[in-house]
Amino acid sequence: MPDLLSVKNLKIEATSYPPGEPPKTVTLVENVSFDVQKGKVLGLIGESGAGKSTIGLSALAYGRGGAAITGGQVLLNGKDILTLGRDGVRTIRGCKVCYVAQSAAAAFNPAHKLGDQVIEAALRHKIMSRPEAEKRALYLFKVLGLPNPETFGDRYPHQVSGGQLQRAMTAMALCPNPELIVFDEPTTALDVTTQIDVLAAIKHAIEETHTAALYITHDLAVVAQISDDIMVLRHGKTVEYGTTKQIIEAPNQDYTRALVSVRQTKREEARDQSNTLLNIEHVSAGYANGFKVLHDVSMHLPKGQTLAIVGESGSGKSTLARVITGLLPPQEGKITFDGKELPRALSGRTKDELRRVQMIYQMADTAMNPRQTVRDIIGRPISFYYGLHGAKKTERVRQLLDQIEMGDRFLDRYPAELSGGQKQRVAIARALAAKPELILCDEPTSALDPLVAEGILNLLMKLQEETAVSYVFITHDIAIVRAIADSVAVMHRGKLVRFGPKSKVLSPPFDDYTDLLLKSVPEMELGWLEKVLTTRRMESAGN
Nearest-angstrom CA–CA distance, 104 and 293: 26
Q: How far is the CB of 94 from other proteins (least distance, A)?
A: 3
Ranges within 202-221 binding other proteins (CB under 8 A): 218
Among 32, 42, 81, 101, binds other proteins (CB under 8 A): 101
Q: How far is the CB of 117 from other proteins (least distance, A)?
A: 8
Query: Per-residue x/- marks for other proteins, 284-323, CB under 8 A?
Result: ----------------------------------------
Among 9, 83, 91, 419, binds other proteins (CB under 8 A): 91
- Residue 386 binds other proteins, judged by CB under 8 A: no
Count of residues that interact with other proteins, criterion CB under 8 A: 56
Reference 532, options 264, 190, 200, 205; nearest CA is: 200
Report yes or no: 426 and 415 within 8 Å, Cβ to Cβ.
yes
CB atoms within 10 A of CB 277: 21
Do you know the residue count of the chain? 543
Secondary structure in 3-state letters for 352-410: HHHHHEEEECCCCCCCCCCCCCHHHHHHHHHHHHHCCCHHHHHHHHHHHHHHCCCCHHH
Considering beta carbons, is residue 12 or 484 the nearer one to other proteins?
Answer: 12
Stretch that binds other proteins, among 153-161, 278-286, 345-353, 402-410 (CB under 8 A): 153-161
Reference 184, options 105, 101, 107; nearest CA is: 101
CB atoms within 10 A of CB 124: 12
H or E, element range at 300: strand 292-302
Among 98, 224, 260, 342, binds other proteins (CB under 8 A): 98
- Residue 156 binds other proteins, judged by CB under 8 A: yes
- Residue 48 binds other proteins, judged by CB under 8 A: yes
Considering beta carbons, is residue 107 or 346 the nearer one to other proteins?
Answer: 107
Among 134, 179, 184, 240, binds other proteins (CB under 8 A): 184
Considering beta carbons, is residue 356 or 476 the nearer one to other proteins?
Answer: 476
Considering beta carbons, is residue 34 or 385 the nearer one to other proteins?
Answer: 34
Long-range contacts of the stretch 349-354 (C-beta < 8 A, 24+):
351/385
Among 7, 36, 41, 52, binds other proteins (CB under 8 A): 52
Among 4, 7, 41, 54, binds other proteins (CB under 8 A): 54
Nearest-angstrom CA–CA distance, 460 and 94: 46
Report yes or no: 287 and 327 within 8 Å, Cβ to Cβ.
no
Backbone angles phi, psi at 217, to 5 degrees: -160, 165
CB atoms within 10 A of CB 526: 14
Stretch that binds other proteins, among 183-191, 247-255, 311-319, 438-446 (CB under 8 A): 183-191
Among 31, 62, 139, 354, binds other proteins (CB under 8 A): 62
H or E, element range at 215: strand 212-217
DSSP, res 121:
H
Considering beta carbons, is residue 294 or 488 the nearer one to other proteins?
Answer: 294
Backbone angles phi, psi at 459, to 5 degrees: -60, -45
Among 108, 241, 337, 471, binds other proteins (CB under 8 A): 108
Stretch that binds other proteins, among 44-52, 224-232, 268-276, 359-367 (CB under 8 A): 44-52
Among 31, 33, 177, 188, binds other proteins (CB under 8 A): 188
Q: Is there a cis peptide before residue 509, judged by omega within 30 degrees of 0?
A: yes
Among 1, 111, 391, 541, binds other proteins (CB under 8 A): 111
Among 36, 43, 93, 277, binds other proteins (CB under 8 A): 93
Q: How far is the CB of 243 from other proteins (least distance, A)?
A: 24
Stretch that binds other proteins, among 137-145, 182-190, 295-303, 405-413 (CB under 8 A): 182-190
Judged by phi (left if over 0) then psi (alpha if -120 to 50, else beta), residue 15 lies in beta
Report yes or no: 28 and 53 within 8 Å, Cβ to Cβ.
no
Burial class (CB within 10 angstroms; exposed 0-12, middle 13-18, buried 19+) of 299: buried
Stretch that binds other proteins, among 33-41, 59-67, 128-136, 137-145 (CB under 8 A): 59-67
Q: Cα dihedral angle (150, 152, 156, 161), rounded to 10 degrees?
A: 170
Residue 44 to residues 33, 80, 102, 173, 217: CA-CA distances in angstroms? Answer: 12, 21, 14, 19, 6
The single-letter code of the amino acid at 201 is A
Stretch that binds other proteins, among 18-26, 31-39, 140-148, 258-266 (CB under 8 A): 18-26
Backbone angles phi, psi at 184, to 5 degrees: -105, 95
Nearest-angstrom CA–CA distance, 475 and 231: 29
Considering beta carbons, is residue 163 or 436 the nearer one to other proteins?
Answer: 163
- Residue 22 binds other proteins, judged by CB under 8 A: no
- Residue 411 binds other proteins, judged by CB under 8 A: no
Considering beta carbons, is residue 113 or 495 the nearer one to other proteins?
Answer: 113
Report yes or no: 441 and 473 within 8 Å, Cβ to Cβ.
yes
- Residue 170 binds other proteins, judged by CB under 8 A: no
Query: Per-residue x/- marks for other proteins, 226-255, CB under 8 A?
Result: ----------x-------------------
Footprint on this chain of other proteins (rule: CB under 8 A): 14-19, 26, 28-29, 48-55, 57, 60, 62-67, 89-95, 98-99, 101-103, 106-112, 120-121, 124-125, 156, 158-159, 184-185, 188, 218, 236
